[in-house]
Structure 1
Amino acid sequence: MTIHDALTRHARQLGHSPAVVFRDADTGERTELSWATLHNWASKGANLLLDHFDAGLGAHVMLDMPAHWMAPVLCLATWATGATVVVGGAADVHVVHEADHPEDGDLVVGVGMGGRPMSPVPADALTVVDVLGQPDDFVDDPGDEGAWAIGGRTQATLLAEGLDGGRILHAADRVDEAMVFLVARTLPAGTALVIARGYDEAGLKRVATEEKVA
């Protein structure tokens, strides 16, 4: 079984219940993705990575961006194609955030609603709008559970390390290996993930209560 297989199963079983919740203390943003929506976004992202960047088995996709709800989407999309997620070093696809350095990105996540850019991006860069234009189903899953996923772990290894639970809260300002590992160990196991950016300790306690994190 691959990570995409597991996500597909949970999307069918859990449907419209929450899978990913993103909270931003600075902007007040709260974005929620159901299991069905997460699977749809991941499938669209996988189609874009494969069709536009040829990012399949052996490729590396770098997430160089603040913590954001697109991070788990792009992790899952990358693993669907059999590619590896990295957070530093060389990569075949460089994902950046509009607020950072969009001129360096192959794929730009914007600051607007739905991750859309609010200002012009480089002419040769793609954006979340291009992700939305992809087919809803990803049919080119290589089915390789031995594909490298992150940090020297294969998809099979991370699936075996899955965390059972209702919801897990993760506080982070930027995407790092810890977040990527948590994505791999929660969502494919059917455990929802709440990502909180910019909160102090009191704020995190409030988020945990509001989002019903055990």
Structure 2
Amino acid sequence: MTATERTPADLLRSALAADPGRPLVTFYDDATGERVELSVATFANWVAKTANLLQGELSAGPGDRVVLLLPAHWQTAVWLLACSSVGAVADLAGDPASADVVVSGPDTLEAARACGGERVALALRPLGGRFPQPPAGFVDYAVEVPGQGDRFAPFAPVDPDDPALVVAGAAFSAAEVVERALADAPSLDLTGPGSRLLSGLPYDSWDGVSAGLYAPLAAGGSVVLCRNLDRLDEERLAQRIESERVTASRR
């Protein structure tokens, strides 16, 4: 970690400066057959638009709690980096009643209604598609995010030592997220540019979000993030590992 890389958003900016065209997140959903590949530049664009939505439209700022009721998914990864960009606390599977903003997938909308603040709904459809019928009381992310700006600047400086992430009840500052991600990289066989980690772990623990996002980003590698990987037999999994040039895996 350098003096200028103390938050996950800093890591993304460094990755964008180094090689914007390389893959960063490749997502599979083996229940639907979906595959999405996002380069560093495309991922960073989604992050910027989402951060602008979060800051400008939802009025979130440093210290505000954003509860993410979302699975391991490329859009969840975008929201984690958007929260880091704004300085908001990303609380994975936290209590919506305590949230300033709740971001819900289609299966957790009822639980998300406990939030008295802003509510955002993600359809989690292929290619970031919108809901056929927007859920009442929620902003449809897929409708709102395309019109947001492609560049983001926070209204207030983000302090790396402030709380940034809550997962499985454990809280981490932005600097701790970066430090732990860098420390995890060797044990995950992430050896630098070209490293490609396949992760089938859910985003319900530090190990899951580290393998599924933070450690590959910190190491200059990429992640093949797989949802519903248990639907894949060993032969098809081996084919994916070969075709995606995977260098390590965690399942």
Match of 1:186 in 2: 216
My pick for the range that moved more, 126-135 or 143-152, is: 143-152
Match of 1:155 in 2: 174
My pick for the range that moved more, 190-199 or 23-32, is: 190-199
Q: Which residue of 26, 35, 60 maps to 1:21? A: 26
Amino acid at match of 1:211: E
**Matches of 2:8 and 2:40, distance apart in 1:** 14
Amino acid at match of 1:213: V
Counterpart check, 1:175 vs 2:203: yes
What secondary structure does 1:175 align onto?
coil
RMSD of aligned C-alpha atoms?
Answer: 2.1
**Matches of 1:19 and 1:76, distance apart in 2:** 13
Counterpart check, 1:118 vs 2:131: yes
My pick for the range that moved more, 111-120 or 30-39, is: 111-120
Percent identical among aligned pairs is: 33
The answer to whether the 8 Å contact 2:69/2:108 transfers is no
My pick for the range that moved more, 82-91 or 180-189, is: 180-189
Larger radius of gyration: 2
Q: Which residue of 129, 148, 162 maps to 1:134? A: 148
Counterpart check, 1:55 vs 2:84: no
**Matches of 1:155 and 1:189, distance apart in 2:** 16
Runs of 4 or more above 4 Å deviation:
none
What secondary structure does 2:229 align onto?
coil
The answer to whether the 8 Å contact 1:148/1:154 transfers is yes
The answer to whether the 8 Å contact 2:62/2:158 transfers is no
My pick for the range that moved more, 185-194 or 11-20, is: 185-194
**Unaligned 5+ runs, structure 2:** 114-118
The answer to whether the 8 Å contact 1:102/1:121 transfers is no
Shift of residue 122, structure 1, vs aligned partner: 2.8
Aligned pairs, number:
212
Shift of residue 187, structure 1, vs aligned partner: 1.7
- Give the TM-score of the pair, scaled to structure 2: 0.76
Higher relative CO (Cα under 8 Å, sequence separation at least 6) belongs to: 1
Counterpart check, 1:145 vs 2:160: yes
Shift of residue 63, structure 1, vs aligned partner: 1.6
The answer to whether the 8 Å contact 2:48/2:150 transfers is yes
Match of 1:66 in 2: 71
My pick for the range that moved more, 83-92 or 34-43, is: 83-92
**Matches of 2:105 and 2:131, distance apart in 1:** 11
Distance 1:95 1:205, change over 3 A: farther
Match of 1:96 in 2: 104
Match of 1:84 in 2: 89
My pick for the range that moved more, 156-165 or 34-43, is: 156-165
**Unaligned 5+ runs, structure 1:** none
What secondary structure does 2:84 align onto?
helix
Shift of residue 123, structure 1, vs aligned partner: 4.3
What secondary structure does 1:139 align onto?
coil
**Matches of 2:47 and 2:55, distance apart in 1:** 12
**Matches of 2:105 and 2:177, distance apart in 1:** 27
**Matches of 2:237 and 2:85, distance apart in 1:** 32
Shift of residue 23, structure 1, vs aligned partner: 0.6
Match of 2:116 in 1: none
